[in-house]
Amino acid sequence: MAQRWVVTVMLGLLSLPAQAHAQVLTLDQAVAEARRVNPQVRAARYRWDSARHQIIQNYTPADPQFSFTNFDSWRGFLYGSGEHNLSLSESFQFPGKGLLQGRQAERTAEIARLTYRAALRDVTAAVKTGYYQLQLDLALDDLLQDNAANLDRVLKVTQIAYTANAATQGDYINAKFALEADRELVRQQAVTIANDRTALNVLLDRRPDEPLEVDRRLELASLETTLDQAIGLATMNRQEILEAALSEQNEDTAVTLAQLEYAPDYTLGMGFDNWLIQSFAPQPNHTQTWNFEVGFNLPIFFWAKNEDISRARSDLAAAREDLDSINTQTAGTVTALYRQILRAKETAQLYNDTLIPLAREAFEVTLVAYQGGKVDFTTLLNTFRQESEARITYLQAVNAFLAQRVALEQAVGGNLR
C-alpha cells in the first residue's frame, strides 16, 4: 500500500512540469506581464524617477559658502595669530529665474513620464501584434494540416482511379507530389511558430526557448470608434503630441530666461573680524568688527546675450513647427490605418460568409466529379488550391484587422471601443 502511494506521488510530481507548460497565456496576461518585466519599460520608468528627483534642485538656491581665515601667526601654524576672520556668503539668481528653471524641470519630468507611458504603449502594441501573429501561424498550421488531409483524400481517389484505368499515372504522381509538398509546408510552419514564440518570449523577458501556449482562437473584433473620434483621441492622448507641447512651453520659458541674462545675479556676504593683537585693530578698544558685502555681475558682453536670445527664439519656433508637424502626421496616420482596418474587416467578412463556403462546396463537388471522370486532375487540384487560398486570405484579413487596430491604438495613444 505504501509503495503504491509513493508511486502515485512520484507520477503526480512528474506530471507537474507538463501541466505547467500546457497552461494557456491569455492576451491580457501577456500584456500585463510585459508591462511589468519588459526591460525597455523598466528603463523608461527609472528615467522618469531620475527626472522627478531633479526638480527640487532647480528651486533650491546654491549652498552658502563659509570660510575661516587666520592672519599673521608669527609663532607658528595657528599660534600667535594676529586676526581671525569668519565670513558667510550666498549667491542668488535674479528673482524669478529659479522659479522658471523649476517649472522647466517639472515639464522635463512630465516629458519623462510621457516617454514611460509611450514605452508601455509600444511594448503593449508589440505584445499584442506578436500574440496575434502567433495565433495566425497556429491557425495556418491547422489549415496546412487540413490541406494535407484533403490531399491524402485526393491521392487515394487518384490511386483508385489509376488502378481502375480511369486516370493516368501522371495524376497519381502529381497528387503524391502535392501531398509531400504540403507536408513540407507543415514542417516549415513548425519553425515559424517556434520563432513566433521566441519573439513573444523576448518581449516577456523570458528565455527564447521557454514553452509558451496562447489562446488559439483568432476572432474578428469590432470597432465602434469613428474616424473623427479617433483623430480627436489622438490629439488629446498621443504621448508624442503632449511631449511636443511641453517642449514648446519649455522653449518659451527658455526665451524668457535668455532675456533675464541681462538682469544681474548677485551675491550677499557677511564677515566677522576678531583682532587678537589690539594694535592690528582699527581702534585699540574695538578688536571685533563686522563686514557686509554685496556684489552683482555686469552684463557688459550684451552682444553675446543677444545671440542667446536669438537662439532661444529659433528653438521656440522649431518646437512649434515640430508640434504642428506631429499633429498633422498623427491625423494622417490615424486616417490611413482606419481605412485599412475597414478594408480588412470587409475582406474577412466576405471570405467567411461567402467565398470560403463556395470554395469548400466547389472542392467537394469537383472531387466527386473527378471520381466520375467528368473533370480532369488539374481542375480538381486548382479547386483544392482555391479553397485553401480562400481560408488563408480570411485568416490573413482577420490578422490584418487585429494588427492594424493595435497600430491605431498605438497611434492615438489609448484604447478604442
Q: Which of 281, 298, 315 is the last residue of a domain?
A: 298
- Regarding whether 169 and 181 lie in a shared domain, the answer is yes
- Regarding whether 204 and 145 lie in a shared domain, the answer is yes
Q: Is residue 275 part of a domain?
A: yes
Q: Is residue 179 part of a domain?
A: yes
Q: Which residue stretches of the chain have pLDDT < 70?
A: 1-22
Q: Is residue 12 part of a domain?
A: no
Note the pLDDT of residue 333: 95
- Regarding whether 254 and 269 lie in a shared domain, the answer is no
Q: Is residue 2 part of a domain?
A: no
Note the pLDDT of residue 177: 93
- Regarding whether 355 and 309 lie in a shared domain, the answer is yes
Check which CATH number belongs to the domain holding 386 and give it. 1.20.1600.10
- Regarding whether 177 and 125 lie in a shared domain, the answer is yes
- Provide DSSP, 336-359: HHHHHHHHHHHHHHHIIIIIHHHH
The SS3 assignment for 264 reads: coil
Q: Is residue 20 part of a domain?
A: no
Note the pLDDT of residue 9: 38
- Regarding whether 78 and 55 lie in a shared domain, the answer is no
Q: Is residue 16 part of a domain?
A: no
Q: Which of 298, 321, 352 is the last residue of a domain?
A: 298
Which is it for the CA torsion 99, 105, 111, 112, positive or negative? negative
Note the pLDDT of residue 39: 95
Task: Quickly count: other Cβ atoms within 10 Å of residue 408's Cβ.
Answer: 23
Write the CB contacts of 81 (distance below 8 Å, at least 6 apart in sequence).
70, 71, 72, 73, 276
- Regarding whether 32 and 149 lie in a shared domain, the answer is yes
Give the Cα separation of 385 and 147 in Å (integer).
9
- Regarding whether 134 and 80 lie in a shared domain, the answer is no
Could you tell me where the beta strands, DSSP code E, fall in 259-332? 266-275, 288-296
- Regarding whether 273 and 133 lie in a shared domain, the answer is no
Q: Which of 298, 315, 346 is the last residue of a domain?
A: 298
Helix 377-412 / helix 227-237 crossing angle, nearest 10 deg: 40
Give the Cα separation of 133 and 28 in Å (integer).
15
Give the predicted TM-score (pTM) of the model. 0.84
Q: Is residue 18 part of a domain?
A: no
- Give the chain's domain count: 2
Note the pLDDT of residue 401: 95
| Tens digit of each residue's pLDDT (9 = 90 or more) over 255-301 | 999 998 888 888 999 999 998 888 788 887 888 899 999 988 887 87
The boundaries of the domain holding residue 39 are 27-60+93-264+299-412
Cell of 270: 557677511
CA atoms within 13 A on the CB side of 190: 6
Contact (Cβ atoms closer than 8 angstroms) between residue 65 and residue 88: yes
- Regarding whether 345 and 228 lie in a shared domain, the answer is yes
- Regarding whether 384 and 350 lie in a shared domain, the answer is yes
- Regarding whether 98 and 69 lie in a shared domain, the answer is no
Q: Is residue 368 part of a domain?
A: yes
